[in-house]
């Protein structure tokens, strides 16, 4: 891993480049290829899905129906796992459920304001959502749990999933199917990439259109999500995974190295960064990374991530390390500090903070409770983790009495006049003082002055209107 020092004159430029990670992920050929796939699925539906699956995943479904797996498949897969695997899935599901049930929607309780109007805001769950679980270089049953369970807690009526089958066979591993069982997924479609995003956004004869697409994926998935946003909602544009480890001088180098490798083994584009005020610790961490790398099954992937995108940054002190971590706005921030809880107060921009030596990032990936779908590539500056709120929408409710409307009418009319919208002002005047358009007014005044008459006269009056 390359070593940087904050007292080096060139550090600001190098650091800025490191912070800009992920900005190129869906540019050029990737975006163009994703756009073609999405457009083809939108135009031709199932036929396009089947052709893309054969061409890109190297297996040929007999029909679109062969893409669909459902609860009997999920239940059978769950039953087929050994007892320890079932317990692990259940523990993770229970903890995720328990955490997200404690969320509180940002509703505005109904209240009566000074004018007498009743105002408030309520939340409603989305009707149908699609969750995406990556395939390719690894399987992610945990992503099924971390997306579908918050959606279920939110009250979403139907949760469907897309995940690419194994290249060449289309098989989906038992852990992913079992995760669908415990998470409450209705159906899983064995399709991935940009074509899956297009199917979820626009619908096909077999895949229903959804209201929102959630879950991470490769660069093609990210580009496709960006393309379909507006047709449907999305959770975020997820880039490669990343971790920043802030380690004090007395931190265990083996622990710091393990946290860096836990992200590096995901993807060659993963970004692992260490910030420490101790040059000696930086050297020991680098050596520990090389030792642990030797017997890592995904060694080639992790090594490339560390070489191309990793960094060991030596800072002036812990305070500068924490400041730089906040500036980086990482997806995962590990604080290997003896007083980690105190430093959390200094952090405002991170997807998730792992405080203290006994809180490795890996526990957050699987069983801690909060969803592991987090903002990446610096978007923690403005974005939040996936949550129950991701799957609910707010709806304002307004209920004015005659007195309340009269109290605010002059202000409405003044603002409407300033913007040149006479119909807005008229909509208020009609209700407050009975004002009507000029053509109708003479007939009403004449009718009001007419002496009482029999039914025949009243009928004649109505006829003239």
Q: Within a 10 A sphere around the Cβ of 345, how many other Cβ atoms?
A: 8
Mean pLDDT value across residues 109-130: 95
pLDDT in tens, 43-64: 999 999 999 999 999 999 999 9
Q: Which residue has the tokens 């993963």?
A: 270
Instruction: Report pLDDT for 280.
Output: 97
Q: Decide if 419 is catalytic.
A: no
**Tokens read off for 60:** 């040929």
Domains of the chain: 2-24+239-368 (3.40.50.1980), 29-237+389-395 (3.40.50.1980), 401-451 (1.20.5)
Q: Which residues contact 17 (CB under 8 A, 6 or more apart)?
A: none
pLDDT in tens, 378-397: 999 999 999 999 999 999 99
Instruction: Catalytic residue, from 100, 181, 266, 332: name it.
Output: 332
Q: Within a 10 A sphere around the Cβ of 65, how many other Cβ atoms?
A: 9
**Tokens read off for 172:** 């989906």
Long-range CB contact pairs, 95-98, < 8 A, 24+? 95/367, 95/368, 95/369, 96/145, 96/146, 96/149, 96/150, 96/369, 96/370, 96/371, 97/149, 97/152, 97/153, 98/369
Q: Decide if 332 is catalytic.
A: yes
Q: Which residue has the tokens 């163009």?
A: 32
| Cβ–Cβ under 8 Å, residues 235 and 212 | yes
pLDDT at 447 exceeding the cut of 60: no
pLDDT at 451 exceeding the cut of 50: no
pLDDT at 113 exceeding the cut of 70: yes
Instruction: Report pLDDT for 106.
Output: 79
DSSP 8-state symbol, 392: E
Instruction: Report pLDDT for 135.
Output: 80
Instruction: Catalytic residue, from 265, 331, 361, 413: name it.
Output: 331
- pTM value? 0.88
Q: What percent of the chain shows pLDDT beyond 90?
A: 85
pLDDT at 26 exceeding the cut of 60: no
- The better pLDDT of the pair 106, 168 is held by 168
Q: Which residues contact 402 (CB under 8 A, 6 or more apart)?
A: 431, 432
pLDDT at 343 exceeding the cut of 60: yes
Q: Within a 10 A sphere around the Cβ of 331, how many other Cβ atoms?
A: 29
Least confident of 96-110, 297-311, 353-367, 447-461: 447-461
pLDDT at 104 exceeding the cut of 90: no
pLDDT at 137 exceeding the cut of 90: no
**How high does pLDDT run on average in the chain?**
91
233-234/311-314 β-pairing: unpaired
Mean pLDDT value across residues 109-118: 94
């Amino acid at each position: 891993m390359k070593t940087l020092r904050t007292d080096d004159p060139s550090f600001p430029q190098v650091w800025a480049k490191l912070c800009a990670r992920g900005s190129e992920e869906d540019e050029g050929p990737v975006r163009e290829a994703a756009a073609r796939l999405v457009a083809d699925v939108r135009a031709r539906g199932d036929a396009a899905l089947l052709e893309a699956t054969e061409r890109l995943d190297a297996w040929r479904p007999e029909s679109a129906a062969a893409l669909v797996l459902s609860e009997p498949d999920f239940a059978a897969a769950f039953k087929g796992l050994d007892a320890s695997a079932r317990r692990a899935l259940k523990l993770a599901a229970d903890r995720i459920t328990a955490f997200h049930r404690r969320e509180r929607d940002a509703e505005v309780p109904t209240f009566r304001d000074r004018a007498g109007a009743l105002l408030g805001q309520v939340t409603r769950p989305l009707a149908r959502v699609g969750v995406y679980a990556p395939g390719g270089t690894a399987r992610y049953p945990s992503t099924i749990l971390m997306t579908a369970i918050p959606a279920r807690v939110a009250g979403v009526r139907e949760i469907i999933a897309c995940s690419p089958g194994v290249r060449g066979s289309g098989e989906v591993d038992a852990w992913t199917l079992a995760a669908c069982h415990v998470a409450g997924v209705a159906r899983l479609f064995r399709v991935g990439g940009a074509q899956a995003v297009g199917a979820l956004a626009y619908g096909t004869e077999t895949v229903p259109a959804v209201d929102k697409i959630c879950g991470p994926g490769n660069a093609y998935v990210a580009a496709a999500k960006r393309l379909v946003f507006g047709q449907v909602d999305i959770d975020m544009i997820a880039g490669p995974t990343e971790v920043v480890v802030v380690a004090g001088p007395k931190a265990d180098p083996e622990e710091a190295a393990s946290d860096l490798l836990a992200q590096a083994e995901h993807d060659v584009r993963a970004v692992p960064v260490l910030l420490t005020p101790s040059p000696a610790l930086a050297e020991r961490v680098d050596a520990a990374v090389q030792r642990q790398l030797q017997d890592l099954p995904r060694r080639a992937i992790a090594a490339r991530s560390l070489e191309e995108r990793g960094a060991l940054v030596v800072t002036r002190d812990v305070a500068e390390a924490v400041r730089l971590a906040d500036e980086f706005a990482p997806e995962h921030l590990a604080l290997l500090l003896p007083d980690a809880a105190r430093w959390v107060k200094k952090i405002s921009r991170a997807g998730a903070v792992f405080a203290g030596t006994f809180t490795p990032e890996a526990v957050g990936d699987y069983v801690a409770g909060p969803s592991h779908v987090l903002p990446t590539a610096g978007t923690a500056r403005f974005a939040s983790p996936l949550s129950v709120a991701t799957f609910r929408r707010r709806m304002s409710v307004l209920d004015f009495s005659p007195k309340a409307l009269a109290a605010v009418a002059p202000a409405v009319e003044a603002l409407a006049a300033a913007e040149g919208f006479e119909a807005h002002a008229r909509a208020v005047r009609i209700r407050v003082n009975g004002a009507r358009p000029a053509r109708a007014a003479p007939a009403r005044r004449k009718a009001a002055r007419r002496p009482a008459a029999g039914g025949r006269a009243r009928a004649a009056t109505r006829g003239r209107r």
